[in-house]
């Protein structure tokens, strides 16, 4: 880890412990290939690999823990309800007994009976108060669990650097939209976006500025979509935009608007105040064909993207 200048924190410890333990062949192949190609394994790259191999495991662990907490809360509530039910039956029996004694005409004992009724009522009121308190606590705990699960789910589907959807979220949403498109006969467009000369930019200005560029691109794409559209970081400097119920011509127009929005931005290096100039990207657009598989759909959009790069970059190419 020191040789690769990898930050020392729990996620990276887990990643490299599993690598040396050789318990995950896929993980080992990925890391070995990166080491052999001398690619810099910075925090962002390690984070992507960690999410790919361990993200679901962490999500499952949190869900399991939340389920155990929920079960304990429910057991406590059921125990309280059982106690209250028992005491309610006892209270009902006591009232019936008092009623019978009054009906028997024991007037000299009425004061004593009234006092006893009031005491039983007080005890029942206390029990009801305790039950309400326990139910309130259980409700609060369950609300916290729901929020925790929501946050874990959101984090598992979000790229931590840019804040847009991650590859996992993209894959899930694409499958949903392909199914919906087939069922309803609605068009579905995909825009693949790649930042121009990103590696050269990274080499010149450093990875922190590279991260700043990725965040800028993510924010620019998010600002140019609406409704059910989805922006995702597909990997590295490549982004994907899903446009449901959008025909090819309209998708190409959206892609051109996104390209222009980014090219109008000017990025400044915070530490020096130096302008780093324009950031541009190339975009490829494809429309889902009837019966087309997700991998073929993505491949056609990617082919259009590389046609845009071959055509001079900073442009949009639409697949036929």
Look up residue 97 and give its DSSP letter: H
pLDDT digits (tens, 9 = 90+) for 60-103: 455 556 556 666 666 776 666 677 667 777 767 777 777 666 66
Q: Is the model's pLDDT at 216 over the cut of 80?
A: yes
Domain 70-156 has CATH 1.10.20: no
**Structural contact between residues 250 and 150, judged by C-beta atoms closer than 8 angstroms:** no
Note if the pTM is more than 0.75. no
Structural tokens at position 36: 């052999």
CA atoms within 13 Å, Cβ hemisphere of 97: 10
pLDDT digits (tens, 9 = 90+) for 228-275: 999 999 988 999 999 999 999 999 999 999 999 999 988 887 777 777
Element (H, E) at 232: strand 230-235
More confident residue, 171 or 242: 242
Report the candidate in 245, 234, 216, 247 with the shortest Cα–Cα distance to residue 283: 234
pLDDT of residue 274: 74
Instruction: Please tell me if the domain spanning 70-156 has the same topology as the one spanning 167-318.
Output: no
Element (H, E) at 108: none
- Exactly one of 108, 237, 238, 256 is catalytic; name it: 237
pLDDT digits (tens, 9 = 90+) for 15-36: 776 787 776 777 787 788 777 7
CA 156 to chain centre: 4
Q: Can you give the residue ranges of every domain in the chain?
A: 10-60, 70-156, 167-318
Measured from the Cβ of residue 156, the count of other Cβ atoms closer than 10 Å reads 16
Is-catalytic flag, 237?
yes
Domain 167-318 architecture: 2-Layer Sandwich (3.30)
């Amino acid at each position: 880890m020191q040789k690769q200048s990898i930050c020392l924190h729990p996620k990276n410890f887990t990643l490299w412990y599993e690598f040396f333990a050789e318990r995950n062949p896929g993980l080992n192949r990925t890391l070995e290939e990166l080491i052999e190609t001398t690619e810099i394994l910075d925090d962002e790259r390690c984070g992507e690999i960690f999410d790919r191999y361990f993200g679901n495991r962490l999500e499952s662990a949190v869900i399991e823990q939340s389920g155990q907490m929920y079960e304990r809360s429910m057991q406590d509530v059921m125990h309280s309800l059982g106690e209250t039910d028992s005491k309610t039956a006892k209270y009902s029996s006591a009232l019936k007994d008092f009623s019978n004694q009054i009906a028997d005409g024991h007037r000299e004992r009425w004061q004593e009976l009234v006092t006893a009724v009031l005491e039983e009522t007080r005890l029942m009121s206390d029990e009801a108060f305790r039950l309400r308190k326990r139910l309130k606590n259980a409700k609060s705990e369950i609300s916290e669990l729901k929020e925790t699960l929501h946050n874990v789910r959101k984090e598992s589907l979000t790229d931590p650097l840019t804040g847009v959807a991650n590859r996992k979220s993209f894959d899930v949403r694409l499958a949903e939209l392909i199914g919906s498109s087939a069922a309803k006969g609605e068009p579905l467009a995909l825009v693949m976006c790649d930042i121009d000369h990103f590696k050269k930019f990274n080499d010149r200005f450093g990875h922190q500025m590279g991260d700043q560029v990725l965040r800028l691109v993510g924010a620019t794409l998010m600002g140019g979509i609406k409704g059910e559209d989805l922006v995702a970081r597909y990997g590295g400097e490549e982004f994907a935009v899903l446009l449901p119920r959008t025909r090819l011509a309209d998708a190409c127009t959206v892609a051109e608007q996104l390209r222009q929005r980014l090219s109008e931005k000017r990025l400044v290096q915070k530490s020096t105040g130096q302008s780093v100039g324009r950031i541009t990207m190339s975009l490829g657009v494809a429309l889902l064909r009837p019966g087309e598989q997700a991998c073929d759909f993505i491949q056609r959009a990617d082919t259009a993207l590389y046609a845009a790069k071959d055509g001079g970059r900073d442009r949009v190419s639409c697949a036929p």
